[in-house]
A and B are shown apart, each in its own frame.
Chain A
């Protein structure tokens, strides 16, 4: 069965520094998608970045990049130049392609950015 593992319950980073949030996944499918979402204290789910299993390049979106290592089944999120507003919960998720396309989420990492 598909599974997402986020081993860091909480992370601290100083403003303007970079931080890496870990995510490993388990699937026997060849075609899948990996997502990162941000959930601030207000509660909404904000899409950050997507990586397809066949994408050869690591995905980037502004200050967010996804370090995709297929052989290791890892999809770590890198946030560069952290800002105070980045303090939030971050969830990694995987989508089974070609089936119902539902998302499977990890348990999340709480990131706190300090001045």
Chain B
């Protein structure tokens, strides 16, 4: 029973390149959340998706960032034209139902470094 799978674990990009982060939720989970953790800080909510729908993207920067959760396949967080300030750990969490008490399972995160 695999947990939430995120890949890659580490990603290095040059300024101006695109970064694509993948998250496969736990089997049976249809809710996906993305969080960003800057160095020495707590996690900050970015976006909440259900299959084929963005439910809440209030934490997403207005430009260069996008997310999707297609009917088939993993959820993707895409960052276009990366800048040094995008360097952070990006975590994905999934849940089977948004109202369950213990519903969140986090992935191990993707550490993005922009050089």
Contact = CB atoms under 8 A, between A and B. Distances in A.
Interface of A: 4, 33, 35, 37, 42-47, 50, 52, 91, 93, 97-98, 100-108
B91 A105 contact: no
A2 to B, nearest CB: 11
A42 B44 CA distance: 19
A91 B42 contact: yes
Interface string B77-104: 0000000000001010101001101111
Contact of B104 (A91, A100, A103, A104): A103
Given A43-B109, A44-B108, A97-B99, A103 B43 contact: yes
A44 B105 CA distance: 11
Contacts of B48: 100-102
B18 interface: no
A45 B41 contact: no
Given A45-B91, A100-B56, A107 B109 contact: no
A42 B42 CA distance: 15
A90 B92 CA distance: 18
A102 B33 contact: yes
Nearest to A50: B101
Contacts of A93: 43
A93 B33 CA distance: 14
Nearest to A95: B104
Contacts of A35: 104
A43 B89 contact: yes
B29 interface: no
Contacts of A108: 41-42
Given A102-B45, A105-B43, A47 B98 contact: no
B106 A45 contact: yes
Interface string B21-61: 00000000001010100000111110010000001100100
